[in-house]
Structures are given as structure tokens and as C-alpha cells.
Amino acid sequence: MHPRSLSVAPKWSGGLPGNHPRPLRQEFPLEAGISHLEADLSQTSLVLETSIAEQLQELPFTPLHAPIVVGTQTRSSAGQPSRASMVLLQSSGFPEILDANKQPAEAVSATEPVTFNPQKEESDCLQSNEMVLQFLAFSRVAQDCRGTSWPKTVYFTFQFYRFPPATTPRLQLVQLDEAGQPSSGALTHILVPVSRDGTFDAGSPGFQLRYMVGPGFLKPGERRCFARYLAVQTLQIDVWDGDSLLLIGSAAVQMKHLLRQGRPAVQASHELEVVATEYEQDNMVVSGDMLGFGRVKPIGVHSVVKGRLHLTLANVGHPCEQKVRGCSTLPPSRSRVISNDGASRFSGGSLLTTGSSRRKHVVQAQKLADVDSELAAMLLTHARQGKGPQDVSRESDATRRRKLERMRSVRLQEAGGDLGRRGTSVLAQQSVRTQHLRDLQVIAAYRERTKAESIASLLSLAITTEHTLHATLGVAEFFEFVLKNPHNTQHTVTVEIDNPELSVIVDSQEWRDFKGAAGLHTPVEEDMFHLRGSLAPQLYLRPHETAHVPFKFQSFSAGQLAMVQASPGLSNKKGMDAVSPWKSSAVPTKHAKVLFRASGGKPIAVLCLTVELQPHVVDQVFRFYHPELSFLKKAIRLPPWHTFPGAPVGMLGEDPPVHVRCSDPNVICETQNVGPGEPRDIFLKVASGPSPEIKDFFVIIYSDRWLATPTQTWQVYLHSLQRVDVSCVAGQLTRLSLVLRGTQTVRKVRAFTSHPQELKTDPKGVFVLPPRGVQDLHVGVRPLRAGSRFVHLNLVDVDCHQLVASWLVCLCCRQPLISKAFEIMLAAGEGKGVNKRITYTNPYPSRRTFHLHSDHPELLRFREDSFQVGGGETYTIGLQFAPSQRVGEEEILIYINDHEDKNEEAFCVKVIYQ
């Protein structure tokens, strides 16, 4: 009897409800489905006469994630600072940005439209561009007045073009004396660099970063790509709390105003909203909140404006005469045809030819034992065997130890000059002579064994071609190798490649498309290769025939380019140092070798590739906080195709196919082709590591059939946190303890939380964490509102500003039973609040102490936060309602707790602002 088999194969099929610009009632059909669950049931037949399994038919299935719409997490509005803010910025003493002639850079408005002329940008005589980012101020918004703490220091992270990701030093927030109360768009705090000892100098405010983008940095032909990057891309800047290392929010700024268009220098001042985005757990439906461009804001994504960042971007042009003169020496990296003519480094014959110009091939003879470690080790082994056990040095280098043995022999030979030791010297000389004879025999045998290999290796240089490729993550580098049959007979040539990222293009249509994109006019052959499954491809060559073999190098491995987000250091002098371009030593180098073997197995050509990986452009950054050692499952919805920068223009209703690849092979990343006009979603499934690990990877999106050039490149950060589940009641204090484990050394630490009004810790301030010890951190949670949400808790080393531990507190809060309800009408827009009173009767026979709390502390305050009342007596509670600037309704809950902070009663006050 065959055993039963039950297999569950979760996979994504189908699509999500669309966001095509149609009426909303047709846009989101309600479908019944189960998220992330699809069963593929197969059962072998129970009958012995047949072994054919009956396959169940798959039903249409739609996994309903709550998709994250691209662009919503950086949906910060940008504009020009107000005139009042410009007065404060002008008087704060920020350094002025000057052009190459020491004149102030031309100021352009961030709200004016920009006309981009590529020909005018390329014909500019100032070929070098000095990009300046000047961080000026960070202001608090007026609506952020719920008692949340304002950070004392901040730092910023971003990535500009294909430079490495940048992390600024910690900057102090210094409040202006003229700022006063925060209003809409008011400038309140300027940024000042912090020195090593923690002090700051308010006389040198601001922080500058400079990037030099010129012919020495750009590849040949890349200047047009850089100009287009400035014209269409948006720079995302993440703002972090410098003390708690918590993410405050993100801001986005368009860089189109950095196009100089023939001007010597331009600068634009921006006032950016810093938006904090919270992702809740996956919901089953999406809402109809339109964001523009036909995009939809899903349920579970909440955005709050945390502050306003004042930033100045500038582009200063510089002449580069010496750089232009050196352009002819640049390697022809964009050359698509590689030929092996004249590539040999040794043409055979004697190395020393009298009267020849090949004097550069003269080499100085060296001892074999000095250049070959294997031979030196063999000679040392024989020396040990001939002399018996001796006190040999523990040096790992066999050549050095052999020299020490030789020095011992010489000293022993010199000691033979003593007449009293003549017999000993004769024996020593015989021993040395015997050792030398043994060494000569070893050397002769070694030479005979390696002679054939050395000659073959030297002769292979005549057929070896070396080439350097400059590759970028996800971009297919296409080239052709000119292969010639040097023999008088035909051959079937096998192409062997030792690097899986390098492949032969065997599809003629793919070859033709790559030629068209590269502007190459060499011939294309149909059915050029003979394919044999997974074996290497073969091609036929007639005697002395030449053929162009197409290759494609494409790497999806980020390697060292994926730099993990690190906390900022304290090493900055004045904060105005320029950032040097990326160093080639920090970028990984890959190698690939191609052997073209003839019918007899001997190579007729060798291609050695050196691949220099270059940093790439990041179009979008996502940050997710997830419990450790679990799976993150997210759907990211693409906006309509015509809104993508650089997307190909197609006919109406003709969306190009979408393909997706990931830099991490352990991340499941896929998309599915849906009907025309339907939205497209990118599905991610990532396994989070242990806390506080940060995993980052790149998601690359293509819109062409052959995955040649990425349309979008996203960088995804996954912060793994220790999960703590708390079930509680709104307005009531819930206590729990977290275990702290010490590190190798003593640390002064402090606990920080993203919601200080709802979560408090004990110890409250800075305390000492002993090494390798265990200590409890007492946590008190009092949620203001019912519902499920996440609270972040960080334990930070206050001296080194390093993250020691991190928790994700998952609150599941239910609302208490409402015992009384009130209603009050207030006039909106009044300058002062209104005082009201309500009564509360102590239901107990004894005297009790009660504490008062509210879920809207910014709208309602109490005359006394706690009171005492006798048994059965009535107490009058004084209420102070703050004014509201907008018309509407608001329900305010009043929590009355006992002396242990347990909820006794809850009142609801409905406030109508007219």
C-alpha cells in the first residue's frame, strides 16, 4: 500500500485588487481569501494496480497583503523656506557657498519649474561638478505637541548617486532665541557639530558634505546618465535621534534644481517635511485614500510629520583641463569588441636577443628556493632529515627557515679553523657537502617535474587576452570576443567559463537586442552554438576563420557594497570636511576566465576578465522593523508605469513585463504578470536574524525581456528586534521585566523608547551594565488608546553611542468599559481654553487615592492629577480643555485608576468644536 503524502506549497499566484484610475467602487472588489496560504494536495493512488497519482486542480487564489505603495513612506512635501525662516538662517552665520571664482552661487527657487536640456548640460565647459549638501536646521512642527520628547542630537543617513552610503556625525540641536513657540513653518533649532568631548561651538553652525563628480570619477559616457539622475531622481534622507538611535523619520528632496545648464554654480534652499511611517501588521483590505498619480494608500501605513529639515543643495562647476588631457589614457571599458590580436606578452624564442628592442624582457636570475615556497619546504625537510632533530624556529615561512639552516652550516664551517677541532671541521664539511648534493638532487627532480607545466604556462601567454570590465549591480555588461581558428583544420570549439556570473549569449534575438542597445554593427549569426543540456556550448570554426562570440556579465551579488547602517561616530573637526570619492580598494574585484578548447582538448584562446564592481544608484529605501528569528512577508505595490523615471513610453494599456531580482539568494522576491491596467506588486519574504542584527539587500526591477538595465533599484533594511508581547488595558499600567545581558566590558547604558508617554523604564536614567552579568530592566506600559501597535525600545551605550539591545514591544490593548458619557460644545479657534467640572463618587467604604489620566493629554488637562476622597463621598474633578484650531468632533477618554494604577472607571467626553 502506497503511503499517503500531504504537501503544502505556499506560493504567490494572482494579483491584488487594482489601483487603476477608475471609480473607487469598481477599484476594490471584496474577495474572500486567506493570506499566505495555499495547499497543494497530492495523494498517491491506494490501488496497487495503478501508480498514477490524481492531481487536484488548483483554484484561483489571491493572497491579500496590505501592499506598501512605492513613494508613500517618503511622501514628504518639499518647498522653499519662508522669508521669516530665511532671515533667521541668514543671521545664524552659515558658511556661504561660492563658485570657482569665489563669487556667491546663483540662488534658484525650489518651487520654480526646471527645463532640462541634455545638450546644454553636456556642452558645459565646466566638466567637474562639486555637489554640496549643507544641513542647516531641524525644526519642530506645531502639531507635534503631545508631550513627546524632542531630540537633543540628530544624525542623517543617505546615499547620493553611486557613492557609498553616508552617515553624518551627530549634530546638536541648538534652539534659537528668536524662535519662540513653534508655528507652522517656524524655524526653531539649528544644527551644530558636536566635538569629541561632547561640547559644541554655536559660532560655526551647519554641516557640509561635498562630492566631486568629474571625469576622474565618471566612466566614459556616464555624464549623460548623471545629468539624468539629477533631473528625475529624488534623494531620500533618513533622520535619526543621535542619543536613542531611533529613526525619527525620512525626508525626500528632488535634485533637478542642481542642473547648472551652463551656469557657473547654483544653489537651492529646501524646507522638507520629515515624515515618520509606521507599518502595522498585514490587513485584508486596502483603503481608498488617493495619493495622486492613481496611487492608493493602504490600511496599516500611518504617516506623521515629525519636523522640518532645512537643507541647501548646490552644484559648483570647476574646469578640468588636466582631467581632459588624461581622458585618452582611460581604459576602453565601453568597448564592446575584444580582440586577441597583439595581446600576447611572450612570443616565444630566447629572452635575450642581441640588438633587439626586447630588452624589457630581461629578468634577473634568482634562486629557485627564494621564489618557490614549495621547493624551499622540500629542501628544509631534507635538511631536517640529514641533520637529525634540531631546535628549529617556529617561523611559518619555509624560505626563512632554510636560510637559517644555511647560516648554521656556515658558522659550523667557520668553526673548523680551530686546530684543536680539525677532526670536527672535516666531519662538518663532509656533512655540508652531503647536504648540498642532496639539495641539488632535489632541485633537479623538481625542475624535471615542473618543466612541462612551466613551459605550457609560458606558451599560453601567447593566446591569452586580458580585459577589464566596469560592472554595476544588476546591469548586464555585453561584449564580444573575436575568436580566430589559428590552425589549418576545422575545429569544434568548446567555451568553458569558470564564473557563473559570466555567460555566453546563445539566443540570437537576445544578441540582436544587446547589439542594438550598444550601437554595435557586427554581424549576428542564427543557431551559432550547439547546446548539450547543462554542458558548455560549442561552435564550429573553419580553418583560419574568425567569429564574434557574444558574452554577458551580470552580477546580482552586492558583496561589500551593501554597507550595514552604522551609528555615527564623533570624529569630525568642524563638520565642513569634503567627502572623498569611493576608493577602488574598498570595492571588490572579481575575476573570470574563459577557455576556448579545440577538438583535441587543447586551448586555442584564453580570455581573462578582471571585473571592477562599481557602486550603484539606489532609487528607493525601505526600512522594516520585525521580530527576530521570524519571517517578514510584505507586498510592495508599484505605481502606474508612466510615473516611473526613465520608463519606456508604450501605447495605452500596454505595460511592459516586470521582472524582479534580489541581491540576497536567501530572500524570496517575485512578481506576477496580471491583466492590463492592473497594479503590480513585488512580494518579499525575508527571514530575520537575531537581535539587533540589521539585514540589508537590494531589489532590482526590470522592464525589458532580457533583464539588461534596471528600471528601479530598491534597498531594503530589515531591523531584527526582540519581540515582547503585551496584552493590556488602555489607561491602565501594566508592568513587565526584560532581561539585560552584559557584554565583554562595563558599559554605561540608558533605555530609550519611541513612545515615552506610554512606556517608561526603571532605571530611568543612565545606569551601569556589568560585564557578562544579568540584570532586569523594569518596564511600565500605559497605552493611551486601544488597538494593536508597535513600540520600540533601545538600550544605548551613552559613551560610545552604540546599540546594545533592542526590543519590539507589541501592544494588544483593549478599551475599558465606559461607565459615563458626557458631551460638550466648544468654539474652535479661541485663544484660551475652557474649564469644566465633573463629579466622581468613591464606591468604597474607606478613604482611597485615585489617579487621573487621559488619552488626549494635548486636548485635556486635569486640575489635579491625583486626589483623595473618603468612603462614599463625592469629589469634583476640574477639567481644562485646550483650544482647537479646527472644527470637528473628538472623543476624549478619562481614566480613573486606583493607587496601584488599575483602572476603576472610564468616562467618555465627546467634544464638538464649532
Please say if the pLDDT value at position 45 is more than 50. Answer: no
Rg of the chain in Å (alpha carbons): 36
User: In the prediction, which pLDDT does 3 show?
Assistant: 44
**Domain boundaries 465-580+589-611, corresponding CATH code:** 2.60.40.10
Among candidates 298, 305, 300, 177, which has minimal Cα distance to 239? 305
Give 496-522 pLDDT, tens digit per residue. 999 999 999 999 999 999 988 888 888
Spatial contact of 904 and 898, defined as CB atoms under 8 Å apart: yes
Please say if the pLDDT value at position 668 is more than 90. Answer: yes
Beta bridge partners of 592: 609
Give 568-605 pLDDT, tens digit per residue. 333 333 333 333 333 333 456 889 999 999 988 888 99
pLDDT band at 24 (very low <50, low <70, confident <90, very high): very low
Spatial contact of 300 and 279, defined as CB atoms under 8 Å apart: yes
User: In the prediction, which pLDDT does 303 show?
Assistant: 76
User: In the prediction, which pLDDT does 299 show?
Assistant: 44
DSSP for residue 42: E
Q: Which residue has the higher pLDDT, 381 or 740?
A: 740
Spatial contact of 717 and 694, defined as CB atoms under 8 Å apart: yes
User: In the prediction, which pLDDT does 283 show?
Assistant: 41
Q: Which residue has the higher pLDDT, 641 or 793?
A: 793
| Residue 610 CA neighbour count, 13 Å, CB half | 8
Please say if the pLDDT value at position 135 is more than 90. Answer: yes
Antiparallel, parallel or unpaired: β 189-193 and 171-175: antiparallel
DSSP for residue 486: -
| Residue 763 CA neighbour count, 13 Å, CB half | 12
Q: Mean pLDDT, to the nearest integer, of 368-388?
A: 62
**Worst-scoring range by mean pLDDT, 81-90, 340-349, 695-704, 811-820?**
340-349
Note the helical H segments in 187-299: 223-232
Give 397-421 pLDDT, tens digit per residue. 666 777 777 777 777 766 655 544 5
Note the helical H segments in 174-287: 223-232
Cell of 61: 487564489
Quick one: what percent of the chain has pLDDT higher than 90? Answer: 23
HEC per residue, 643-688: HCCCCCCCCCCCCCCCEEEECCCCCEEECCCCCCCCCCEEEEEEEC
Please say if the pLDDT value at position 48 is more than 90. Answer: no
Q: How high is the mean pLDDT of the chain?
A: 76
**Worst-scoring range by mean pLDDT, 86-95, 717-726, 784-793, 799-808?**
86-95
pTM for the complete prediction? 0.70
Give 787-846 pLDDT, tens digit per residue. 888 899 999 999 888 888 899 999 999 989 998 899 888 887 766 778 889 899 999 999
Please say if the pLDDT value at position 638 is more than 90. Answer: no
Antiparallel, parallel or unpaired: β 747-753 and 767-769: antiparallel
pLDDT band at 478 (very low <50, low <70, confident <90, very high): very high
User: In the prediction, which pLDDT does 642 show?
Assistant: 62
User: In the prediction, which pLDDT does 287 show?
Assistant: 34
**Worst-scoring range by mean pLDDT, 110-119, 373-382, 891-900?**
373-382
User: In the prediction, which pLDDT does 725 show?
Assistant: 92
Please say if the pLDDT value at position 894 is more than 50. Answer: yes
Cell of 16: 491584488
Residue 242's Cβ-count burial label (10 Å; 0-12, 13-18, 19+) is: buried
**Domain boundaries 66-329, corresponding CATH code:** 2.60.40.150
DSSP for residue 166: E
Q: Mean pLDDT, to the nearest integer, of 106-135?
A: 83
Spatial contact of 913 and 889, defined as CB atoms under 8 Å apart: yes
Distance CA 255, CA 268 (A): 9
Please say if the pLDDT value at position 325 is more than 60. Answer: no
Please say if the pLDDT value at position 648 is more than 60. Answer: no
User: In the prediction, which pLDDT does 812 show?
Assistant: 92
User: In the prediction, which pLDDT does 421 show?
Assistant: 53
Q: Mean pLDDT, to the nearest integer, of 241-246?
A: 90
**Domain boundaries 818-913, corresponding CATH code:** 2.60.40.10
Provide the CA 810 distance to its chain's centre, in angstroms. Answer: 26
User: In the prediction, which pLDDT does 890 show?
Assistant: 87
Note the helical H segments in 105-222: 118-122
Residue tagged 575568436 (cell numbers): 483
User: In the prediction, which pLDDT does 703 show?
Assistant: 87
User: In the prediction, which pLDDT does 306 show?
Assistant: 86
Please say if the pLDDT value at position 271 is more than 70. Answer: yes
Spatial contact of 909 and 823, defined as CB atoms under 8 Å apart: yes
Antiparallel, parallel or unpaired: β 68-69 and 54-55: unpaired
Residue 695: C-alpha distances to residues 30, 158, 555, 614 (Å): 35, 17, 19, 21
Q: Transcribe 287-319 into DSSP letters.
A: --EEEETTEEEPTTEEEEEEEEEEEEEEEEEE-
Distance CA 556, CA 535 (A): 23
Q: Mean pLDDT, to the nearest integer, of 362-386?
A: 64
User: In the prediction, which pLDDT does 699 show?
Assistant: 94
Spatial contact of 852 and 899, defined as CB atoms under 8 Å apart: no
**Worst-scoring range by mean pLDDT, 52-56, 340-344, 786-790?**
340-344
Q: Mean pLDDT, to the nearest integer, of 162-183?
A: 76
**Structural domain spans, the chain:** 1-64, 66-329, 365-390+400-461, 465-580+589-611, 730-814, 818-913
- Highest CATH level, class, for 730-814: mainly beta
